[in-house]
Amino acid sequence: MAKKEEEFVSHITKQNEDFSQWYTDVILKADLVDYSPVKGCMVIKPNGYSIWENMQREMDDRFKATGHRNAYFPLFIPEELLQKEAEHVEGFAPEVAWVTMGGKEKLAERIAVRPTSETIICSMYAKWINSYRDLPVLYNQWCNVVRWEKSTRPFLRTSEFLWQEGHTAHATEEDAEEETLKMLDVYTEFAKNVLAIPMIVGRKTENEKFAGALRTYTMEALMLDGKALQAGTSHNLGQHFAKVFDILYLDKDGQQKYVWTTSWGTSTRMIGAVIMVHGDDRGLVLPPKVAPYHVVIVPVAQHKEGVLEKARELHQRLSAKFRVVMDDRDTYSPGWKFNEWELKGIPVRVEIGPRDIENNQVIAVRRDTGDKTAIPEGEIENRMDALLEEIHLNMYEKALKFREENTHTVYNFGEFRDTIETKKGFIKAMWCGDSNCEDQIKAQTGATARCIPFQQEVLNDRCVFCGGKAKELVYFARAY
């Protein structure tokens, strides 16, 4: 059995050998997804979908607390609507999937399968918004979208994925900007307090902003392989869509005015972020608030009198407050079960055996550190609360330390090239604001401008690429 337990873990490639293969091994071995018959699409299995459900629940509560309501708009978008906003459609054209047949009949007009919903939602806003009394409109939608990607990887980039997209309309630019930044704050707080992921937040460059947006704001996370991941974006769309779709309202002064709109979104890509920020060579390490289960109870020597009964009693007690599963399978040894639940990333394993029953205790094992603690049986509920909070804080601090240790400051392009080739992580550098310099950096190094952070520093007064007068600090990285 010891050999089988060793083999169970050896099926996962080590991170430092091949991080990409490690990621694939983990998502498959932890039973999060499987590949579907449709190229580029994934089947999200219960272990993976429950993580998304917990993320949804946490975000949805936050959206509703800020006054947003959920709605649903069609999956299909007439080509005429998508073509109305030229910059927007150009940005999405390579990824749009089209429906050209209905049954056996060719459609008179192609229909796009939703790549994002700005156009169809704005067409409805034009019908619904007539007066300043109708504003603001604060909607969110939970749905799937389709983008025909050439290169795919489960959770990170797939042809179909799940997400939420907020869409709001406001009377003034100031209100729209406030909404855009507010929702970025909601995302950042969620990332910290639910996913245990520290984020760099700021504005996207003109090259990197959302197609059709006035300004795009982003939160960027650092993965364990040193690549960045865009985890959520919030867009001030200005009046671009309002003018294209004639979204006008009668203001208090009796004047017809265009609304100001926003959109903001996160997706199942965040599951990929959780995996690649917290995982280790034994598999997933899940933050307690999104893990399918907080606790797994594993009876030890369960064939002995009283062990299963005590385990079931613990399960009932803990289930009143926590998400709990009991593994009482008699076809696997405790050691095998330990390995399996570690792979699946469950935050706490509770072991109960004859000796523990004699001592009126249980053994709690943390997934994040592997530390074992004997807990008096009568204190299990209160101690579990504190333990889960400790796990979350430790995971966040560990991720923050990793990011800080892998954030590098450079002053010229020679240092930039050396750093991007020899070290992993973010590069902080000054930039003149010229998109040509940004393009050349990307062409020569593969690094992109991830964001212009809100927290600016002045490293020097020269652009890292051209040596001209610097305008602002930018975070660069190679990214997913």
Residue 57 shares a structural domain with residue 153: yes
pLDDT at position 2 is 45
Residue-wise pLDDT tens digits, 75-108: 999 999 988 876 666 767 788 999 999 999 999 9
Q: Distance of CA 34 to CAs 28, 46, 340, Å? A: 7, 11, 18
Residue 370 domain-assigned (yes or no): yes
Question: Distance between CA 311 and CA 353 in Å, rounded?
Answer: 9
The answer to whether 365 and 371 have CB atoms below 8 angstroms apart is yes
Written as one string, the DSSP assignment of 420-440 is: HHH--SEEEEEE-S-HHHHHH
Neighbours of 423 (CB within 10 A): 12
Residues 427 and 353 in one domain: no
Q: Are residues 226 and 103 in the same domain?
A: yes
Please report whether residue 273 resides in a domain: yes
The answer to the question of residue 105 being in a domain is yes
Are residue 98 and residue 225 in the same domain, yes or no? yes
Q: Are residues 256 and 323 in the same domain?
A: no
* Distance separating alpha carbons of residues 252 and 83, to the nearest angstrom: 33
Model confidence at 8: pLDDT above 80: no
Of 397, 402, 407, residue with least CA distance to 455: 407
Nearest to 176 by CA among 260, 118, 247, 240: 260
Residue 3 has pLDDT above 80, yes or no: no
The separation between CA 4 and the C-alpha centre of its own chain, rounded to angstroms, equals 34
Q: Are residues 45 and 165 both part of a single domain?
A: yes
User: With 0-12 CB in 10 A as exposed, 13-18 as middle and 19+ as buried, what is 298?
Assistant: buried
On whether both 89 and 189 belong to a single domain, the answer is yes
Inside any domain, residue 287: no
Same domain, 126 and 85: yes
Q: Are residues 424 and 370 both part of a single domain? A: no
What is the span of the domain harbouring residue 231?
A: 17-278
> For residue 285, how many C-alpha atoms fall within 13 Å in the half-sphere facing its CB?
24
| Confidence bin at 6 (pLDDT 50/70/90) | very low
* CATH number of residue 354's parent domain: 3.40.50.800
Phi, psi dihedral angles at 355 (to 5 degrees): -65, -35
Note whether residue 355 is domain-resident.
yes
Q: How many CB atoms neighbour CB 13 within 10 A?
A: 17
User: Is residue 452 in a domain?
Assistant: yes
Residue 443 has pLDDT above 50, yes or no: yes
Q: What is the pLDDT of residue 88?
A: 63
Query: What pLDDT sits at residue 86?
Result: 67
> Does 283 map to a domain?
no
Residue 21's pLDDT band (cuts 50, 70, 90): very high
Rounded to the nearest integer, the mean pLDDT of the chain is 95
Residue 402, in any domain of the structure: no
Residue 142 shares a structural domain with residue 264:
yes
- Residues 454, 458, 464, CA angle at the centre, nearest 5°? 100
| Overall number of domains in the chain | 3
- Say whether both 259 and 315 belong to one domain: no
Q: In the block, which residue shows the tokens 């290169």?
A: 151
Q: Indicate whether 358 pLDDT > 80.
A: yes
pLDDT score recorded for residue 211: 87
For tokens 């993580």, what's the residue?
Answer: 51
Residue 288 has pLDDT above 90, yes or no: yes
Q: Which of 278, 311, 338 is the last residue of a domain?
A: 278
- Percent of the chain past pLDDT 70, that is, above it, reads 97
Distance CA 322, CA 473 (A): 44
Question: On the CB side of 324, how many CA atoms lie within 13 Å of its CA?
Answer: 20
Helix, strand, coil shares of the chain, percent, nearest 5, are: 40, 30, 35
Examine the domain organization and report whether 307 and 267 are in the same domain. no
